[in-house]
């Protein structure tokens, strides 16, 4: 196969959009989504600092619990941004990034169970799912066809 035939086989078009336009539109929409998440994180940091100041003089332990939960949620949002950036640079989403985001969310859920009224079955299920995702993360990293 020559180079022109290979390019023709990799190019595709939908009913209305060529591959180039489709990529530009998806990149634009993902960029808008990422901007929205950035603004949400900035708002969360401002809110967190305000609560830190207020809770320093009142019920510190309850405030610390709330702040830990908020920080874990912001970390999950950062993992989501990392996944979206992977999509924009690689043109696909790596499974390891999805597993990282899921692990951060589930660890945040486990922390929420720790501070709240928790059922022991919920904790066992949550720890089991986190363990399975951790094993999957190790396997996908070890047997990944990519070098990075």
DSSP-assigned states of every residue in 7-21 = HHHH--B-SS-BHHH
* Residue 58 phi, psi (nearest 5): -120, -125
Report if residue 12 sits inside a domain: no
Residue 3 lies in a domain: no
Reading the block at residue 142, the tokens are 């070890």
> Is-contact 36 87, C-beta < 8 A?
no
Judge whether 19 and 13 are in contact, CB under 8 Å: yes
Q: What is the pLDDT of residues 5-50, one digit of tens each?
A: 445 445 555 556 667 777 788 888 888 988 999 999 999 889 888 8
Please report whether residue 127 resides in a domain.
Answer: yes
Q: What is the per-residue pLDDT across 89-135, written as a single tens digit (0 to 9) for each?
A: 887 788 888 888 889 888 888 887 777 777 888 888 889 999 999 99
Q: Is residue 6 part of a domain?
A: no
Instruction: Give the containing element (helix H, strand E) for 28.
Output: helix 19-56
Structure tokens at 107: 């660890």
CB atoms within 10 A of CB 79: 19
**φ and ψ at residue 18, rounded to 5 degrees:** -80, 175
The reply to whether the predicted model has a pTM over 0.85 is no
Q: Note whether residue 76 is domain-resident.
A: yes
């Amino acid at each position: 196969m020559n180079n022109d035939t290979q390019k023709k086989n990799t190019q595709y078009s939908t009913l209305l959009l060529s591959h180039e336009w489709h990529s530009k539109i998806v990149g634009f929409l993902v960029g808008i989504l990422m901007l929205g998440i950035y603004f949400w994180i900035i708002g969360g940091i401002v809110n967190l600092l305000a609560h830190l100041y207020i809770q320093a003089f009142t019920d510190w332990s309850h405030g610390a619990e709330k702040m830990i939960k908020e920080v874990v949620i912001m970390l999950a949002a950062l993992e989501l941004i990392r996944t979206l950036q992977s999509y924009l640079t690689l043109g696909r989403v790596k499974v390891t990034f999805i597993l990282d985001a899921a692990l951060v969310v589930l660890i945040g859920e486990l922390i929420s169970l720790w501070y709240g009224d928790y059922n022991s079955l919920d904790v066992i299920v949550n720890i089991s799912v986190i363990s399975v995702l951790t094993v999957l993360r190790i396997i996908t990293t070890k047997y990944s066809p990519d070098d990075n």
